[in-house]
């Protein structure tokens, strides 16, 4: 994690903590709120990077709110085992497994996903819409994927995060050796980087 990402994470964590404290102060200690939700205490650390309720405010961090539980669990397992290499995420993934991945996956799945606040250009969205025809077979015409096939929902995700993941697939440094991703990686290699930027803008714009 870069110094910039650490500063963003710390700022997000402080803002989130202040929001929680103000909610408790305004409604009283016995009133329901975020801290009373099943699984909240176990995901508190995650909110520093991924935002309150898993809704990311960063261009580089994915939104976890509304994530399909099976997909979430697969990614956590891969991070923890080093199959999806990430020095930053591996220790946190191991923490999630230790605390209870089913409960944490259920918590994020139950949260209402808010579209990213990161803006994209209308021209990029239109170019991405045209290019997305090759993505429909897996992600569907609405970009919401298929939970039964562990295909994630891309809609409303930060465009920077989507672009980075496509570039990682293209370079085969995300989940290297995973046979389930072979076709996706082969497709990514045929797509110019600038088109990947447009695809990211398009899926980020979907609601």
Q: Give the chain's domains with CATH numbers.
A: 3-26+35-110 (1.10.760.10), 122-205 (1.10.760.10)
- Phi and psi at 48, nearest 5°, equal -60, -35
DSSP string covering 137-203, please? HHH-TTS--BGGGTBPP-TT--HHHHHHHHHHHHHT-SSTT-GGGHHHHHHHTTS-HHHHHHHHHHH
How far is Cα 160 from Cα 201, in angstroms, rounded to an integer? 9
Q: In this model, does residue 181 exceed pLDDT 50? A: yes
pLDDT computed for residue 35 by the predictor: 58
What is the per-residue pLDDT across 58-110, written as a single tens digit (0 to 9) for each?
999 999 999 999 999 999 999 999 999 999 999 999 999 999 999 999 999 99
What's the whole-number average pLDDT of the chain?
87
Q: In this model, does residue 20 exceed pLDDT 70? A: no
Give the pair of three-digit tokens for residue 33.
């709120």
**Cβ-based neighbour number of residue 122 at 10 Å:** 10
Q: Rounded to an integer, what is the distance from CA 49 to the centroid of its chain?
A: 10
pLDDT computed for residue 34 by the predictor: 58
Name which residue leads in pLDDT, 151 or 32: 151
Q: Rounded to an integer, what is the distance from CA 200 to the centroid of its chain?
A: 13
Q: Rounded to an integer, what is the distance from CA 110 to the centroid of its chain?
A: 15
């Amino acid at each position: 994690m870069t110094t910039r990402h650490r500063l963003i994470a710390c700022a997000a964590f402080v803002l989130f903590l202040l929001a929680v404290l103000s909610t408790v102060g305004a409604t009283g200690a016995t009133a329901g709120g975020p801290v009373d939700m099943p699984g909240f205490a176990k995901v508190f650390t995650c909110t520093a990077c991924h935002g309150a309720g898993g809704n990311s405010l960063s261009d580089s961090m994915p939104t976890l709110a509304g994530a399909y539980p099976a997909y979430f669990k697969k990614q956590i397992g891969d991070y923890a085992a080093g199959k999806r290499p990430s020095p930053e995420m591996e220790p946190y993934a191991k923490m999630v497994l230790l605390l209870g991945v089913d409960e944490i996956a259920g918590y994020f799945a139950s949260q209402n996903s808010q579209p990213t606040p990161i803006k994209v250009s209308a021209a990029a969205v239109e170019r991405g819409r045209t290019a997305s025809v090759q993505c429909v077979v897996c992600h569907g015409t609405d970009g919401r994927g298929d939970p039964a096939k562990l295909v994630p929902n891309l809609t409303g995700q930060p465009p920077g995060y989507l672009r980075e993941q496509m570039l990682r697939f293209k370079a085969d440094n995300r989940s290297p050796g995973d046979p389930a991703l072979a076709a996706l990686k082969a497709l990514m290699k045929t797509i110019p980087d600038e088109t990947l930027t447009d695809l990211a803008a398009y899926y980020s714009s979907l609601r």
